[in-house]
């Protein structure tokens, strides 16, 4: 039987850009959130221009077929998962860096550009694109925009939305809207750019982004400290943030995470360590003094061991512990990664509470995170082949979100809602806030074709 939609898409985009092979479709059903439901897509398209994206959306609108936009599918909330009968719109061929302007300190890029590729390209021009999610070697700018991604250095520089000046967006109707501007300032009208950033593909398809850049950072140095209690480690982090120093990175590892890393690779981490801080300064000739001051603060707050890097190689080695978190947890079982954020004053209560939740539900929960801005990643680890363990893990995951909200925080600091946390959104926003979200969705996408079932249930 001929599929009229696929015939139409092949006519508009060409045969090479339209894929309906069942094996290929099956391999593109999921992002990295393995717990989220994924439907069976109807077809995968790979447009290479804004005009081709418009053609896809016009066809989808005419045939009343949902569209799910996908980048590298490195997300952790199910936002890029297929829904039954959908068109998967891949941005893989929309992968050009269109411009790097040293004078304006901006880059203009298509959504399929990989974060690390952009970072290296602008660095060659003496510039810096700060947002650096852990997946930066794989994740795309479009996906970073969709989830308003953060990263290790956001404690100093901010998250993706702080660097998006303007967007080109194809709406569900196939119309194109340009939001924001290239200029550094501008307050004309509602801020549609920030509305699109973090909307997880539910309001439009981003086809171009104008991104603010900064001068390349100076050389960085790192310090790492271990503590005998969570309270001491978090108190030291708070003191660093209150000291007037602006670390470019401030990370926390709790005892289960430290143990997992040490078991995975012998890094000489002390068995008695209940907490570990990793801090970095990227102020070039001033970095050594910054690191020394951070070391003093950590010692004053009970650190039992403090290491200060004297060069880039030592800094890399000290950062290795943070980079090894995900590889170290993989051998232990399936991971369910949370990303609650709370005020820094509530971090001890959060980490202690997470440990209590793990004990209550009899699951391992490791709690690394970006302690400088209160965004932690409680990670539930369990055996997927054990149905009872899986059920307890899901209960623990929900309990962590409830704890974060109770402490004045949020259910997601940087991973997004997707389907994984959609049922929790009203709890955080309230009924009036949720209704406003629904009205905004209706205004952008009246037929609910763009990523239906994500963010808003």
Residue with tokens 């005419």: 62
DSSP three-state, residue 43: strand
Which residue, among 103, 95, 88, has the nearest Cα to 21 in the 3D structure?
Answer: 88
Residue with tokens 């997946």: 135
Structure confidence at residue 1 (pLDDT): 46
Q: Are 174 and 449 in contact (CB under 8 A)?
A: no
pTM listed for this prediction: 0.95
Query: What's the CATH architecture for 4-90?
Result: 2-Layer Sandwich (3.30)
Vertex 300: Cα angle to 298 and 303 (nearest 5): 50
- Phi, psi of 104, deg, nearest 5: -85, -10
Secondary element (H or E) of residue 349 = helix 347-361
Report mean pLDDT in 10-residue bins for the chain, 457 residues: 88 97 96 89 98 98 98 95 98 98 98 97 97 90 96 92 98 98 95 98 98 96 96 97 95 96 91 94 96 98 95 91 90 92 97 97 96 96 92 96 98 95 95 97 98 94
Strands 334-337 and 379-382, sheet pairing: antiparallel
Residues in the chain: 457
What are the domain boundaries of the chain? Answer: 4-90, 97-215, 221-326, 332-406
- Dihedral-angle region of residue 28 (phi above 0 means left; psi in -120 to 50 means alpha; beta otherwise): alpha
CATH class of 221-326: alpha beta
- Phi, psi of 440, deg, nearest 5: -65, -45
Rounded alpha-carbon distances, angstroms, from residue 259 to 207, 265, 335, 418:
43, 10, 16, 31
CATH code linked to domain 332-406: 3.30.70.2740
Q: Are 112 and 89 in contact (CB under 8 A)?
A: no
Protein fold of 97-215: 3.30.465
Q: Are 341 and 374 in contact (CB under 8 A)?
A: yes
Q: Side by side, which strands form the sheet with 249-254?
A: 305-308, 221-227, 275-281, 249-254, 369-370, 375-376
Structure confidence at residue 457 (pLDDT): 83
Structure confidence at residue 2 (pLDDT): 62
Between CA 150 and CA 161 the distance in angstroms is 9
Q: How far is CA 81 from the centre of its chain?
A: 16
One fold for both 4-90 and 97-215?
A: no
């Amino acid at each position: 039987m001929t599929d009229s939609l696929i015939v139409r898409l092949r006519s508009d985009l060409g045969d090479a850009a339209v894929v309906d092979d069942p094996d290929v479709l099956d391999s593109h059903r999921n992002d990295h959130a393995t717990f989220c439901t994924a439907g069976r897509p109807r077809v995968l398209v790979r447009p290479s221009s804004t005009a081709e994206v418009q053609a896809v959306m016009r066809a989808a609108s005419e045939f009343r077929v949902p569209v799910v936009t996908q980048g590298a599918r490195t997300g952790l909330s199910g936002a890029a998962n297929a829904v039954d009968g959908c068109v998967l719109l891949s941005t893989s061929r929309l992968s050009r860096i269109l411009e790097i302007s040293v004078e304006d300190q901006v880059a203009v890029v298509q959504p399929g550009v990989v974060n690390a590729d952009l970072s290296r390209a602008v660095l060659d021009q003496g510039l810096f694109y700060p947002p650096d999610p852990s997946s930066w070697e794989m994740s795309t700018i479009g996906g970073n925009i969709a989830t308003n991604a953060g990263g290790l250095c956001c404690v100093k520089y901010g998250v993706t939305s702080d660097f998006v000046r303007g967007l080109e967006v194809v709406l569900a109707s196939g119309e194109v809207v340009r939001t924001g501007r290239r200029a550094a300032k501008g307050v004309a009208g509602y801020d549609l750019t920030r509305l699109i950033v973090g909307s997880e593909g539910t309001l439009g398809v981003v086809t171009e982004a104008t991104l603010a850049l900064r001068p390349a950072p100076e050389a960085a140095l790192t310090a790492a400290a271990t503590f005998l209690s969570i309270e001491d480690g978090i108190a030291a982090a708070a003191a660093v943030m209150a000291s007037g120093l602006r670390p470019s990175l401030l990370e926390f590892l709790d005892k289960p995470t430290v143990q997992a890393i040490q078991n995975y690779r012998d890094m000489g981490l002390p068995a008695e360590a209940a907490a570990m801080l990793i801090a970095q300064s990227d102020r070039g000739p001033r970095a050594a003094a910054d690191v020394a001051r951070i070391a003093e603060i950590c010692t004053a707050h009970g650190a039992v061991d403090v290491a200060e890097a004297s060069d880039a190689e030592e800094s890399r080695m000290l950062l290795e512990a943070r980079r090894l978190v995900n590889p170290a947890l993989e051998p232990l079982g399936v991971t369910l990664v949370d990303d609650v954020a709370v005020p820094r004053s509530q971090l001890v209560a959060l980490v202690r509470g997470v440990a209590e939740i793990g004990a209550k539900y009899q699951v391992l929960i490791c709690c690394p995170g970006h302690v400088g801005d209160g965004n932690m990643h409680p990670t539930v680890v369990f055996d997927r082949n054990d149905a009872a363990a899986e059920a307890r893990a899901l209960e623990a995951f929900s309990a962590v979100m409830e704890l974060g909200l109770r402490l004045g925080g949020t259910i997601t600091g940087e991973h997004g809602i997707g389907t994984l946390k959609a049922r929790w959104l009203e709890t955080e926003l309230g009924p009036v806030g949720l209704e406003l979200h629904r009205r905004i969705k209706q205004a952008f996408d009246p037929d609910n074709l763009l990523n239906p079932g994500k963010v808003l249930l």
